[in-house]
Amino acid sequence: MSDHDHQANKEEIFSKVLRAGRRTYFFDVRSTRADDFYLTITESKKHTNQDGEVYYKKHKIYLYKEDFDNFKDLLEQTTDYIIEQRGSEVISEKHQPDFHKKHSEPVNLEEEDQKPEQSQGPEVPSAYTDVRFDDI
C-alpha cells in the first residue's frame, strides 16, 4: 500500500461528531504505521473576523490505547465532581440568551432619568466594554 493509500485509509477507520453550539468535537480512530489504532479528539471552534470572514480554530488531543483506562477514569471523576458540585443545569450566559435578564437587578427608570448625563465618547456596545480605544 502506498503512503497516500495508507493516509486515506487512516482517515476513514471510524469517526463520530458532536456538535455543541459554536464548537464541534470530532472523535476519530486512526492507525499508526504499525497498524495499531489510537484516538484523536479534535475541538473545532467557529470564529468570525471583523470583516465577517468565518474561520475555525482547532485543538487536537492524541490518545493511545495504553492511556484509555486512566483517561476514562479521570474524565468520569471530573465530570462527576462538576455535577455533584453544580448540578447538571447549564447556567452559563453563552448557553442561555436571557441569562442577564434573569440575574440582573431591576432598574428604576425614574432614578435613571434623574442622573446627569456624562459624555464618555461614542457609545460602545456592551459586548465590547473591555476594549479600550485610548491607544489608537
Pairing of strands 23-31, 54-64: unpaired
For residue 23, the domain's CATH number is 3.10.450.700
pTM: 0.57
> What share of the chain has pLDDT > 70, as a percent?
58
Q: CA-CA distances (angstroms) from residue 91 to 25, 87, 94, 100, 101?
A: 21, 10, 9, 11, 13
Query: Does residue 132 belong to any structural domain of this protein?
Result: no
Rounded Cα gap, residues 70 and 119, in angstroms:
58
37-48 sheet: strands from edge to edge:
14-20, 23-31, 37-48, 54-64
- Pairwise pLDDT comparison (117 vs 89), residue with the higher score: 89
Query: Does residue 98 belong to any structural domain of this protein?
Result: no
Q: Give the domain range for residue 76.
A: 3-93
Q: What residue type is 41 in one-letter code?
A: I
Query: Does residue 74 belong to any structural domain of this protein?
Result: yes
Tens of pLDDT, residues 122-132: 444 444 444 44
Q: CA-CA distances (angstroms) from residue 54 to 17, 96, 131?
A: 20, 23, 21
Tens of pLDDT, residues 96-115: 555 555 555 554 545 545 54
Residue identified by cell 492507525 is 31
Q: How many CB atoms lie within 10 A of CB 91?
A: 11
> What's the domain count of the chain?
1
Tens of pLDDT, residues 18-36: 999 889 999 999 999 999 9
Residue 120's pLDDT is 46
Residue 73: pLDDT band (50, 70, 90) is very high
